[in-house]
Amino acid sequence: MIETTTSSEAARVYLETYGCQMNIADSQTVAAVLRQAGYGVAIRPEEADIILLNTCAIREHAEDRVIGRLSDLARLKGSRPQLQLGLLGCMAQHNRAALMARAPWLDLVAGPDTYRRLPELLGRAQSGPAQSDFAVDVRLDRGETYADISPDYESGVRAYVTAMRGCDRFCTFCVVPYVRGRERSVPPADLLREVRALAARGVKEVVMLGQTVNAYRHDATDFAALLRRLAEVDGIERIRFTSPHPCDMTPALIATMASEPKVQPYLHLPLQSGSDRVLAAMERGYTVDQYLDLVARLRSAIPDLALSTDIIVGFHGEEERDFAATLELLRAIRFDSAFSFKYSVREHTRAHRLGDSVSEAEKGRRLAEVIALQEEIALERNRALIGHNFAVLVEGPARRGAGKLAGKTPQFKTAVFSGTAAISAGDSVQVRVEAATGHSLMGAIVASAQ
């Protein structure tokens, strides 16, 4: 959850964000739209005239969390009847009727393609008693990229920039194509303008975002070509992207990752399952062998590549042997990290009507096994880096360890090390790894990296 803050005397908005990087980036666009319309920003919900929750619909658990939070926030209306409560993002789009039944105190519901109209919607919601003038806009818009709106980025050495929106893949389990609509790419000229402006503000690393970011295409510019153009921006030292789809990892993109020094050797490559039967039922578009072949080509082109992935356990029809195949594949590939989830049936998706054959308890057992195995692998992989040096882009003080600094290696691993007064955020330093956990590397500075 990220909270966005500034201050003003105008009606003040408290904005809380749930879910993925795309949502965090969207909230920065929302913040820019509202600021330009004269709204101020509240640091705490208690100080706000308007509370907006930017939400995630990917799993039921994410939705339940938001409903819980909304009912807490709705209590503030008791003492401040003028307070407006709005819900943005994927949940808004997903199931408005059910949402209204569960959260009748909502004044506004706005889907991911309607943020440009938020000032108007807020005005409408404000003009009378709550339910009668309830404002809602969940129309999806094939053309909306917000290309002309420069988001209110958080400060820091890294910025997340939306390159494309939506998804055309329709994996059978996934609600994203329904809540975010069809794929559309931001024109390269707008992205270059944005990234140049970020560089001018001292940003050193950009992460290009999209639900299937490597499906990016605008006229003749595909994703590999976009990365090469972004790499020409002076001041930007590191370029990353997330999340790519395995089927869109073209030879040109792999070659660009291998040859362009600014494009970092890290890839989050969602696998979902290690069983061909399950992959077919999910309609992921690849087999285990094809995925393995892609990993082999990536690792041979980019020898220092770090790989992470997403795994779903307990998809409808997943049997013990399918699950065993997932564990086996995790052991064979040895990802640097993995995000693992219990399958959550989502309304509107094609898998919704198939059913939910794996019990909650069994999903829990499978999830725990995947996590335990992956922790073991991550620890082994990180320990193997002890004694090696990495260029670390310094982000600032480490969360833990007084006086320590933290930053990321090219492989997007967190490195924690003792700083000196001469080193500050945005510097690059060489760190020798001295110890490791499954989640971070601890070390000492050996030299400035440049």
Under rule CB under 6 A, residue 57 binds ligand 5AD: no
Can you tell me the distance from the alpha carbon of 32 to that of 119, in angstroms, rounded to the nearest whole number? 11
* Contact of residue 341 among ligand 5AD, ligand SF4, none (CB under 5-8 Å per partner type): ligand 5AD
Q: To which residue do tokens 């965090």 refer?
A: 24
344, interface contact from ligand SF4, ligand 5AD, none, CB < 5-8 Å by kind = ligand 5AD
Query: Quick one: how far is CA 191 from the chain centroid?
Result: 18
Q: Does 363 bind ligand 5AD (CB under 6 A)?
A: no
Are 405 and 260 in contact by the 8 Å Cβ rule? The answer is: no
Least distance (Å) between residue 428 CB and ligand 5AD: 30
What residue has token string 């290009």? 208
**Cis upstream peptide for 243 (omega within 30°):** yes
Determine which residue in the list 17, 28, 162, 211 makes contact with ligand SF4, applying CB under 6 A. Answer: 211
Check binding of 283 to ligand 5AD (CB under 6 A). no
- Determine which residue in the list 19, 86, 177, 210 makes contact with ligand SF4, applying CB under 6 A: 177
Pick one of 148, 170, 251, 255: the residue that binds ligand SF4 (CB under 6 A).
170
Compute the least distance from the CB of residue 346 to ligand 5AD, in Å. Answer: 5
Residue 315: count of CB within 10 angstroms of its CB? 27
- Binders of ligand 5AD among residues 252 to 281 (CB under 6 A) are 270, 272
Each residue 229-268 as x (binds ligand SF4 by CB under 6 A) or -, in order, gives ----------------x-----------------------
Which of ligand SF4, ligand 5AD, none sits in contact with 59, Cβ below 5 to 8 A by type? ligand 5AD
Stretch in the footprint of ligand SF4 (CB under 6 A) among 33-41, 80-88, 169-177, 291-299: 169-177
Pick from 24, 58, 91, 406: which binds ligand 5AD (CB under 6 A)?
Answer: 58
Residue 210 burial (C-beta neighbours within 10 Å; 0-12, 13-18, 19+): buried
174 binds ligand SF4 (CB under 6 A): yes
Tokens of 53: 């929750």
Q: Where along the sequence are the contacts to ligand 5AD (CB under 6 A)?
A: 58-59, 173-174, 270, 272, 310, 312, 341, 343-344, 346
